[in-house]
Amino acid sequence: MERPVALITGGTRGLGLAIAHALASDYELLIGGRDPRGTAQVAARFPVARPWACDLGDPEAVAGAVDGIDRVNVVVHSAGVAPRKSIEEVSAAEWVQVLNLNLVSVAELTRLLLPKLRESHGHVVMINAGLGLHAAAGWAPYSASKFGLRSFADTLRAEERGRIKVTSIHPGRIDTEMQRAAYKAMGRPYDPAEHLAPATVARAVKYVLEAGDGAVVEMLQIRPESVGHQ
């Protein structure tokens, strides 16, 4: 019996890698990432997995990579960037980069996969953020991209209801290399206890995928127990 196929963008490290581990027992994995060597190395760790190397910021590359996917049941959009700068410091080029990777590339990859997702009555999971629900100083491009991602998910759900399930997951701060680098850049002390473990959010992804026929978890918010909004 064929396993369902799950494509995980940003699947070579951090949260994406944790999601791959959470789904590995039930799915054939497509490990998404920019580096062909890195995706191949990560895919080799799992019993049933293939690398899916693609620069999500290049629409032509995305279209070519999608041509190599014959079927897909689940798409987890977990790739993204999160620079922290004040509005005064952010250049137009940086705005374009963040919005392109965090929002436009998600929309384009989803659009290209719609026929296959409809065929499988598939499920699209958007890894959003707390900053996709409320804004905070220093995060304008990232927060704007995540607010946009939430709107995209809601619109996709409205257009594809009954054919494709769509879930937005809004985790708080996650203990990843990207988060640690952000704290280092800010010169702030880092406390892992104030962050969610990647495995915790990965279990949430598996939970929403197991809601069962006739049900969909439309939005799920998770925060570290010890802190408030982030």
Model confidence pLDDT, tens digit, residues 56-68:
999 999 999 999 9
Report the pLDDT value the prediction gives residue 135, as an integer from 0 to 100: 93
Q: What is the CATH number of domain 5-222?
A: 3.40.50.720
According to DSSP, residue 216 is labeled: -
User: Is residue 73 packed enough to be buried (19+ CB in 10 Å), middle (13-18) or exposed (0-12)?
Assistant: buried
Determine what percent of the chain is predicted with pLDDT higher than 70: 97
Answer whether 0.85 is exceeded by the pTM: yes
User: Is residue 94 packed enough to be buried (19+ CB in 10 Å), middle (13-18) or exposed (0-12)?
Assistant: middle
User: Is residue 206 packed enough to be buried (19+ CB in 10 Å), middle (13-18) or exposed (0-12)?
Assistant: middle
Whether 229 shows a pLDDT value over 60: the answer reads no
Helices 14-23 + 198-209 axis angle, to 10: 50
DSSP 119-183: HHT-EEEEE--GGGTS--TTBHHHHHHHHHHHHHHHHHHHHHTTT-EEEEEEE--B-SHHHHHHH
Q: How confident is the model at residue 188 (pLDDT cuts 50, 70, 90)?
A: confident
Mention every residue, 6+ apart, whose C-beta is less than 8 A from residue 150: 126, 128, 132, 133, 168, 170
Whether 96 shows a pLDDT value over 80: the answer reads yes
Cα–Cα dist 121/131, whole Å: 30
